[in-house]
């Protein structure tokens, strides 16, 4: 039939063979976006299998844990460097001839301050004898709480102005209440293997007035400020290991506050502790933990 030029009749019901237009051509059928990738959908490519992403939290740990820890350590080292410079300017930059400086150096080693930081602070004093000053300031905070600040600064007026602003934001102000604190010499020694009875005997032999149990298995030998150096030497000669020997200011009486003013007073203490020019602070809040890395919270008198 093909040879005679005749066309074969189309049978009823027979499917018409059509060439599917290429994808992307004007006549090509489009698949709805929602059907793309489904089996049997014209022009669809097989979807790539979903791959679960690993849940990495390294950056969050660096930002939330390591960052604040490094900032706190940097503030601590800066405070200790200020204390080193102040002690060196008061009695000389040689720890063997300056008992106060030797005590600060020992405290730096206890707090793992780098050797380069210690040597740099002492070298700056030798090269520039004039510099930072030491100022004691007292403030009255929320609920009648009292704070004594040991400030090391190279600009007293600037530090006082900045402290007034900070105190004002927390409902506090500078005051003249230094009489509420008593100066006490404190020698801290490692007391892990020393019973209290033996500590009392050692205190009597060294000329200390009292012994208190401190934090982290340490013992605090209290003495007159003028006898601080001799008590430290006698305790070391008795086989004890002094961790630090420094002058502290302890409240003559402790203050118990209700929850609201106590929380406000503790916020003030934390804000003051973050200032680099506040080397140490002391307060009269009852049963409050230490908030200054380089300093200590004094317990109430008689404790």
Statement to judge: residues 97 and 237 lie in one domain:
no
Q: Answer for the pair 252, 178: CB distance below 8 angstroms, yes or no.
A: no
Q: Answer for the pair 298, 249: CB distance below 8 angstroms, yes or no.
A: yes
Does some domain include residue 1?
no
Statement to judge: residues 239 and 204 lie in one domain:
yes
Statement to judge: residues 224 and 178 lie in one domain:
yes
The pLDDT of residue 142: 94
The C-alpha atoms of residue 212 and residue 199 are separated, in whole angstroms, by 9
Other C-beta atoms closer than 10 Å to the C-beta of 210 total: 13
Closest of 219, 177, 224, 178 to residue 200, by C-alpha:
219
DSSP code per residue over 9-68: PPPTTPPPP-PPPPTTSTTPPPPPGGGTTSTT-TTPPPPPPP-PPP---HHHHIIIIIHH
Statement to judge: residues 197 and 241 lie in one domain:
yes
Does some domain include residue 38?
no
- For residue 151, CA distances in Å to 86, 181, 234 come to 10, 16, 30
The pLDDT of residue 194: 79
- Which strands form 210-213's sheet, in the order they lie side by side? 210-213, 218-223, 181-190, 242-251
Residues 6+ apart with CB under 8 A from 293: 72, 75, 76, 79, 111, 273
Show the domain range for 118.
Answer: 67-127
**What's the CATH code of the domain at 269?**
3.30.70.980
Q: Tokens 């400086």 map to which residue?
A: 101
Statement to judge: residues 86 and 161 lie in one domain:
no
Statement to judge: residues 155 and 256 lie in one domain:
yes
Does some domain include residue 264?
yes
Residue ending a domain, choose from 94, 127, 160 = 127
Angle between helices 67-91 and 115-127 (to 10 degrees): 40
Q: Answer for the pair 275, 139: CB distance below 8 angstroms, yes or no.
A: no
Statement to judge: residues 162 and 76 lie in one domain:
no
The pLDDT of residue 266: 94
The pLDDT of residue 213: 84
Statement to judge: residues 150 and 272 lie in one domain:
yes
Residues 6+ apart with CB under 8 A from 155: none
**What's the CATH code of the domain at 104?**
1.10.10.200
Q: How many domains does the chain have?
A: 2
- For residue 150, CA distances in Å to 44, 86, 178, 238 come to 76, 11, 12, 32
Statement to judge: residues 143 and 110 lie in one domain:
no
Per-residue pLDDT of the chain (303 residues; tens, 9 = 90+): 444 455 555 555 545 544 555 555 555 555 555 444 445 555 545 555 555 555 556 656 556 666 677 778 888 888 888 888 877 877 778 887 777 788 888 888 888 899 998 988 888 888 776 666 788 999 999 999 999 999 988 788 999 999 999 999 999 999 999 999 999 999 988 876 778 888 889 999 999 999 988 776 788 999 999 898 899 889 989 888 888 888 899 999 999 999 999 999 999 999 998 888 898 899 999 877 666 544 444 444 444
DSSP state of 285: B
Residue 181 burial (10 A CB sphere; 0-12, 13-18, 19+):
buried
Statement to judge: residues 227 and 203 lie in one domain:
yes
Statement to judge: residues 185 and 100 lie in one domain:
no
Statement to judge: residues 72 and 96 lie in one domain:
yes
The values of phi and psi at residue 228, to 5°, are -60, -50
């Amino acid at each position: 039939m093909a040879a005679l030029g005749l066309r074969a009749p189309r049978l009823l019901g027979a499917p018409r063979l059509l060439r599917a237009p290429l994808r992307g051509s004007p006549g090509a059928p489009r698949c709805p976006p929602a059907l793309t990738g489904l089996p049997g959908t014209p022009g669809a490519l097989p979807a790539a299998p979903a791959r679960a992403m690993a849940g990495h939290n390294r950056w969050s740990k660096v930002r939330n844990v390591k960052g604040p820890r490094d900032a706190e350590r940097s503030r601590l080292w800066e405070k200790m460097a200020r204390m080193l410079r102040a002690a060196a300017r008061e009695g000389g930059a040689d720890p063997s001839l300056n008992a106060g400086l030797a005590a600060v150096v020992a405290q730096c080693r206890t707090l793992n301050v780098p050797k380069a930081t210690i040597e740099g602070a002492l070298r700056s004093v030798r090269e520039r004898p004039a510099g930072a000053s030491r100022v004691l300031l007292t403030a009255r905070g929320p609920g009648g709480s009292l704070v004594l600040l040991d400030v090391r600064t190279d600009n007293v007026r600037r530090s006082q102005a900045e402290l007034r602003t900070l105190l004002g934001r927390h409902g506090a102000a500078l005051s003249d209440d230094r009489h509420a604190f008593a100066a006490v010499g404190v020698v801290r020694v490692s007391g892990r293997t020393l019973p209290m009875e033996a500590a009392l005997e050692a205190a009597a032999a060294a000329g200390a007035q009292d012994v208190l149990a401190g934090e982290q298995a340490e013992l605090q030998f209290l003495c007159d400020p003028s006898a601080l150096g001799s008590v430290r030497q006698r305790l070391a000669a008795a086989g004890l290991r002094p961790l630090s020997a420094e002058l502290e200011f302890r409240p003559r009486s402790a203050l118990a506050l209700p929850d609201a003013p106590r929380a406000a007073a503790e916020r003030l203490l934390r804000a003051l502790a973050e200032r680099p020019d506040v080397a140490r602070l002391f307060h009269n809040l009852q049963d409050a933990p230490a908030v200054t890395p380089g300093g200590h919270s004094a317990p109430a008198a008689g404790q």
